[in-house]
Amino acid sequence: MTKKIFLILLSFFAITACSDGDETTVLKLGHGLDTSHPVHLAMEYMADRIHEYSEGSMRVDIYPSQQLGTERELLELLQIGSVDITKVSSSVLEGFDPIYKVFSVPFLFVDEDHRYRVWDSEVGRELLDAGERIRLTGLAYYDAGTRSFYTKDRAIHHPDDLTGLRIRVQESPAAIQMVNLLGGNATPISWGELYTALQQGIVEGAENNPPSFHLSGHYEVSGYYSLNEHTAVPDILYASLQTWNRLSEDQQQILRRAAEESGIYQRRLWQEASARAIEEVQKAGIEVIYPDKEPFLERLQPLYQQYMDESEELKRFIERIQEMVNG
């Protein structure tokens, strides 16, 4: 356990974990994003619905911008019940359960409609429920769009343009393999440290979706955004399994209903934010590139085959998702 997590834990021992003196059930939700991010706005929407559906007997307190720790730290706090709810990228989950590598399969989803169908299907529910294997209760998917490369000094039109570039990735084995296979030097760095890392040249690029590129201010220290859309890695809203088991059945239903409704609401926010982000970064002087995706797909075929060969469970999920391309 890191010193930071230990200090956070100490602070929670002084606070009631699930209820206050007025018999209100209080759920603490921590995440690492800015308050203007569509995910945060969806969480506020969920909190409002929970308050409404419970007639004021439940409350969600939201702590954004890594106030309670990084994404990985929050996940660990969730596992031991010291935080009640968090949002985590499925890429980070790979280090806890390899089944979540399925979301990092390059070009797995053909378009937005395809990934929404998968999330809303039995397949999506099974992947949420897999969180119980790591002491988490899956509540909903939040759209994180498609991830693409942004760089400081070199435009990316083809995988060869990534050769030798230090590219920031999440703490994800799949993301590291992907960037290295494309010719870059994958460099895991926490989200909160990335702006400075780009500014100081510690890394020469990164990969993320348009709203995150815009709202983080990373476009201020970048020159190019290449929309190759190599992966569509969702954010997943989780509750601590310990917290979930402490809630009554009615409270569980309220939490799940509000979470699922917030996921649908967030999709509209995401679509609007994505379009606005591209417009704003172009206004700021970023060159937005729409490269041919085929060379990236070809270069990543060994990674795709590796996933198919890794386990029967992972292979079956990939096949089921691919079967849903046409509805």
Query: For 15-44, how does the pLDDT look when each residue is reduced to its tens digit (9 = 90+)?
Result: 334 554 568 999 999 999 889 999 999 999
Q: Is the pLDDT of residue 14 over 50?
A: no
Please give the CATH superfamily to which domain 147-232+280-323 belongs.
Answer: Bacterial extracellular solute-binding protein, family 7 (3.40.190.170)
**What own/partner pairs with CB < 8 Å and gap ≥ 24 does 37-40 have?**
37/211, 37/212, 37/215, 37/273, 38/142, 38/143, 38/211, 38/266, 38/269, 38/270, 38/272, 38/273, 39/87, 39/142, 39/144, 39/235, 39/266, 40/64
Instruction: Show me where the domains of the chain are located.
Output: 3-143+235-274, 147-232+280-323
β-strand pairing of 185-188 with 166-169: parallel
Q: How much is the pLDDT for 184?
A: 98
**Which CATH number describes the domain made up of 3-143+235-274?**
3.40.190.170
Q: Is the pLDDT of residue 11 over 80?
A: no
Main-chain dihedrals φ then ψ at residue 65, nearest 5 degrees: 55, 40
